[in-house]
Amino acid sequence: MRLDEQTRPDFPILQRIVNGRPLVYFDSGASSQKPRAVIEAMSQYYERSHANVHRSIHTLGEEATELYELARDAVQRFIGAASREEVIFTRGTTDGLGLIAETIGRTLAKGDEIVVTELEHHSNLIPWQLVARDRGAALKAVPILPDGTVDLAALDRLLTPRTRVVAFAHVSNVLGTILPVTEIVRRARTVNAITVVDGAQAAPHLRLDMSALECDFYVFSAHKMLGPTGIGVMYGRRAVLDSLEPGRGGSEMIKEVWIDHAQWNDLPWRFEPGTPPIAEAVGLTAAIEYLEKLGMDRVAEHERALTRQTLEGLARIPGVTLYGPPTAERGAVVSFTVQGLHPHDVAALLDAEGIAVRAGHHCAMPLMRRLGVVGTSRATFSVFNSPDEVSLFLATVAGLHSAL
């Protein structure tokens, strides 16, 4: 049985009719749809076990705490972290990257250097701009090559003894480029730089193993991997987390407090101030269990096939321009433009046929300037998408000009 044939009945929203057509959802790169298991797990939590966590002695508080911490164990297993203390819950990828920048930023000095790449999402660029401005650090960008891959030779030239941070995406949200994480980490280590990886577009689609990647930080969101909005994960290597003070203050992140000083809590709670996203953690556990039952290798194979079908089909349509590397080197992302049509018009015309895609600069404006376009239309895939949907999409794109 094909993966989509197995999964589609699990997603209630796929029963929707949009503009008189069955919904075709090709926007999981922005936010994926949710299987019934996730929806029901969160509903059951609210109906049976909701309370605040960690300090309540009563039954509901203990149940909520157990469910919340079970989510940490599930994430540890899913990403191959060495210990559960390395798993920090955030509000999402943007929040996690901001937290890392705020925390590391306090340790930087004037003249220190931060290296990013030209294909970064704004979430992995703006926080470092703010840090560079406030600390007097220099911000450098590794250029991309014509095929959409990162210029590693240029990276070597940019790395110096003053490089303190190397921040980059695992998978580009525009080009689908899969960056060589272990190789970039190895090169960054030669100058003792901290490595920060934006895994938002990788965690839903690829098997992860932090012990193999060896990066210092890895950040992703639940809502792109079949889970709920409002929760994300910041993995931090234990030795690095131990060396850092918390970036934000509040409850949960302290052991004792005096008027003029405080004693920080143990990991991971040192970096989790305030009431956490408890129901969302329950939903994240359900999403992880769902993906694990499917098997991440099977997920990746299914989505590679859809991506290949889409790229090959679009390449045969006159007036369509594709962006990014060959199929074997990319994630489940296809960005394209149609000659004579603004990307927003392409998305609106596709929506009229019930097909949801993304359009615009995709929060990567420096990359758009590098590509020489105002934006692109973008199709992204998940476990519930089918080859038949891709065929419908290709036929619709081919007929766009005649639809005007």
Residues assigned a catalytic role: 363
Other Cβ atoms closer than 10 A to 356 = 16
Give me the half-sphere count of Cα atoms (radius 13 Å) on the Cβ side of residue 252. Answer: 17
What is the Cα Rg of the chain in Å?
A: 22
